[in-house]
């Protein structure tokens, strides 16, 4: 695999991350901000799966393939990505629950209008 493709993959992961972070900083809506955080987080999937990629290799599962018959991709990063997705989804849910409560307590989901603490 060529050097150019490697840089394209790395740049794609970095771009997704930065797009998410930028959205997070300029967002005027907490629900949108949570979405931006999910975008930033998903850049790690692109990065991790690219690290584990192996040209012409199969999935690291030997259910219907005798071990050693074909090269397999790196299962370590796949395991990391898999748990990341589920944990990320539940943490996103937690943040959305926070946004719902903020809307109830303050009547707004615009972070700029949330000034001062209220019990």
Under the binding rule (CB under 8 A), the answer on residue 74 touching other proteins is yes
Whole-angstrom distance, CA of residue 119 vs CA of residue 101: 12
- Residue 95, SS3 per DSSP: helix
Nearer to other proteins, 39 or 78 (CB): 78
Identify the residue among 58, 62, 70, 108 touching other proteins (CB under 8 A): 62
Identify the residue among 90, 116, 117, 119 touching other proteins (CB under 8 A): 90
Q: Which two tokens stand for residue 58?
A: 């199969």
Whole-angstrom distance, CA of residue 61 vs CA of residue 73: 10
Under the binding rule (CB under 8 A), the answer on residue 113 touching other proteins is no
Task: Kindly report each contact of residues 52-57 with a partner whose C-beta sits within 8 Å and lies 24 or more positions away, as own/partner.
Answer: 52/76, 52/77, 52/78, 55/1
Q: Residues interacting with other proteins, by CB under 8 A?
A: 1-3, 5-7, 9-11, 14, 18, 21-22, 25-28, 50, 52-55, 59-64, 67, 71-79, 82-83, 85-87, 89-91, 93-94, 96-98, 100-101, 104, 107, 112
């Amino acid at each position: 695999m060529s050097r150019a493709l490697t840089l394209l993959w790395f740049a794609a992961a970095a771009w997704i991350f930065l797009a998410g972070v930028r959205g997070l900083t300029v967002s005027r809506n907490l629900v949108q901000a949570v979405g931006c955080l999910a975008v930033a987080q998903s850049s790690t999937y692109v990065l991790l799966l690219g690290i584990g990629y192996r040209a012409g290799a199969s999935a690291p599962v030997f259910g219907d393939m005798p071990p050693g018959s074909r090269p397999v991709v790196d299962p370590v990063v796949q395991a990391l990505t898999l748990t990341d997705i589920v944990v990320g989804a539940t943490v996103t849910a937690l943040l959305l629950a926070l946004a719902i409560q903020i809307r109830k307590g303050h009547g707004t989901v615009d972070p700029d209008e949330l000034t001062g603490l209220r019990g």
